[in-house]
Amino acid sequence: MKAPSAATFIALAVALLVGAPGSAGASAAELKLTDRSKVNPRLLQLDFTTPAIEGGTGVRVLLPPGYRTGDRRYPVLYLMHGAGYDERGWTVEGEAQEIVGSRKVIVVMPRGGGNGYYTDWFNGGDFGPPAYEELHVRQLVPWIDDHFRTRANRGGRAVAGFSMAGFGAMSYAARHPQAFAGAFSFSGAIDTNYPPFTPIGEASSTADGGEYAAIWGTRAAEEVRWRARNPWDLASNLRAMTLQIRTGNGQGGGDFGGPPLDPIEFGVHEMAISMDARLDALGIPHLLEDYGPGAHEFPYYSRSLRRSMPAIMETFRDPPKPPKRFTFRAVERRYAAWGYRVAFDRPVLEFSKLVGRRGGRRFSLAGSGTASVQTPATFRPGRRYRVRVLGTGDPIVSRQRASRAGRLQARVPLGEANEFQQYTPEAEAAGAEVRRARVRIRRLR
């Protein structure tokens, strides 16, 4: 494969300049409030239209006592529901208002579809609605920050949910680590590599009004899309967060009853054990509460929320500091993480890995093809720097001035781009390669 031309590299740079996934911009403006009502003095029902969801969507917002007086700003807990529920689940069955009590926090409970898995659906390659990640992360979070007195930063946000939403909470946090300081899974489906989950994941879209395997495609053909949002595969992205996993084992005899054997809770228990081992292997601190007998039912989720609330509030009082050194894995050709913006010139989906340090003077990138990387906006505008890329072939050295925003840019060649999508038989047969390049930046006198 020929090396990318100068025009191709310029196009990659322009793509980065106009924004990368994770920026709000026009996406937030597409969320339109159509109705607002009070469920009770502290609980609001908000209804919206958005191109991300056909037919509109709803959100419940629980305000803390005293919110309507003064100018205090509050942290936000995004509390999401599992399959078969909507935004009302946590307040109708889950006792969320009673559990949160008088704590000084805004609780936002968005609708996630009957079985939508907190994902922008693949829809056989047509994409389009429903797009739950687009709705919740890129539209709803900035809308809430614009319309309520929030602490609009990472230290002021956490995300939690049960079952399908345990997956959503961990997946959103892993894909957007600069947006959330904590993630909490209650009986969550947090490792979709668990083999019995495959038929469930493929059929979930039909229960939500879509075609078969519309969420990620069939696992046999589109495994990389499944892994792109799977918390287990993205676990390295969760460093420097408050992480809690709570689960029962599906056996009868739990505190709130349930069947003699609950196969769903048994399955999510196996996923929790797998995720726990993965986080341990990566040296990422977290809590696993395996409370033994218990069913996949709301009384257990509510107890998990009650037990997690002290840690949630402590996270808001003393947020984990961003990591000095981070690892970010992603499948997409374009992504943003910790101030870096990455755009690949390659034909297929596959994991790449960005390893960086705060400040942007040293980072590495692993993958295939050629990438354009913009640094965080931490350099002095107009000052000259040397950017040195060490990877395949001879070192690439450029001298450039930091942009007005304080960014520098590096062209990072990673060898010939792989031809076949990762995890396919073709990729296995071709022996797809991953290469690593290091970038070092030094100020010029």
3-state secondary structure of 232: coil
411: β partners: 372
pLDDT of amino acid 242: 98
Angle at 321 between CA 317 and CA 323, to 5 degrees: 155
Q: Is the peptide bond before 130 cis (omega within 30 degrees of 0)?
A: yes
pLDDT of amino acid 5: 44
In the chain, helix, strand, coil percent, each to 5? 30, 30, 40
Q: From the centroid of its chain, how far is CA 127?
A: 18
Buried b (16+ CB within 10 A) or exposed e, 264-282: bbbbbbbbbbbbbebbeee
pLDDT of the chain, 445 residues: tens digit per residue = 334 444 444 344 433 433 333 444 567 789 999 999 999 999 999 999 999 999 999 999 999 999 988 899 999 999 999 999 999 999 999 999 999 999 999 999 999 999 999 999 999 999 989 999 999 999 999 999 999 999 999 999 999 999 999 999 999 999 999 999 999 999 999 999 999 999 999 999 998 899 999 999 999 999 999 999 999 999 999 999 999 999 999 999 999 999 999 999 999 999 999 999 999 999 999 999 999 999 999 999 999 999 999 999 999 999 999 999 999 999 999 999 999 999 999 999 999 999 998 889 999 999 999 999 999 999 999 999 999 999 877 899 999 999 999 999 999 999 999 999 999 999 999 988 899 999 999 999 8
Residue closest to 377 by CA, chosen among 24, 26, 17: 17
Number of Cβ within 10 Å of residue 365's Cβ equals: 24
Under DSSP, the state recorded for 17 is H
pLDDT of amino acid 391: 82
pLDDT of amino acid 358: 82
Two tokens, residue 310: 């002290």
Kindly list the domain boundaries of the chain, sorted by start residue: 26-317, 324-443
Q: How far is residue 153's CA from residue 179's CA, in Å, rounded to a whole number?
A: 7
pLDDT of amino acid 261: 96
Domain 26-317: assigned CATH number: 3.40.50.1820
Q: How far is residue 236's CA from residue 225's CA, in Å, rounded to a whole number?
A: 18
pLDDT of amino acid 54: 95
Under DSSP, the state recorded for 215 is T
Backbone angles phi, psi at 204, to 5 degrees: -55, -35
Backbone angles phi, psi at 287, to 5 degrees: -115, 130
* 445: CB partners within 8 A, 6+ apart: none
